[in-house]
Amino acid sequence: VKTPADTVAALCDAHPDVHFMFTCDVPGAAMTTEDVEVKIKGDYDDLSAYLAYIDYMPNLDTMDATDVELTNEQVDDIGARNYGMKLKYSVSAFGLKVSSLSTEVNLDGAPVGSVEEVEEMLARLPNLERVSMCDCGLTEDQMGVLFDSHPDIKFIWYIEFGQYRLRTDATAFTTA
């Protein structure tokens, strides 16, 4: 029998010293309060139905919503909450689909229009440590702004001096 989230909440709140096990009333799949990982399909409403049980799933490590089509506003909404577990979702970044758990993204050659567009992407990808942006359309000054604003993220781009072009992650340079 599937149990609605409000019933689970009421029982758990009324009896905090009791460990309850429930089959959750969620669309499209069977989920129990004992699950460690959950994969979600559907839309934002389906994801919201799963999220209603989060506080009552002590073993849950990862909720994978990469198959759920989310708008930027919906990503902002779910990303702003602290769930105490990994919530994996996809973000559209300059024509690429990127996981919220990604630590690296390669935007080489992607048509990036402004620093602000990159800032929006960075806000939705909190785990990024490295972003390659060679030939993406931003100037050295614009890349410098991103570099200065995000010291925990390694940005890679080309710098040009004279006839030479060098990636910022290069460890050696020769003119031969």
CA 76 to CA 96: how far, in whole Å? 18
Q: Are strands 96-99 and 104-106 parallel, antiparallel or unpaired?
A: unpaired
Q: Is the pLDDT of residue 132 over 90?
A: yes
pLDDT at 1: 66
46-90 pLDDT, tens per residue? Answer: 888 888 888 888 888 988 999 898 888 888 888 767 777 888 888
- Interval 5-15: pLDDT, tens: 888 889 989 99
Mean pLDDT estimate for the chain: 89
pLDDT in tens, 84-125: 788 888 888 898 999 999 999 999 999 999 999 999 999 989
The pTM of the full predicted model, rounded to 2 decimals, is: 0.79
Helices 44-51 and 72-79: angle between axes, nearest 10 degrees? 10
Closest-CA residue to 74 (of 54, 93, 91, 99): 91
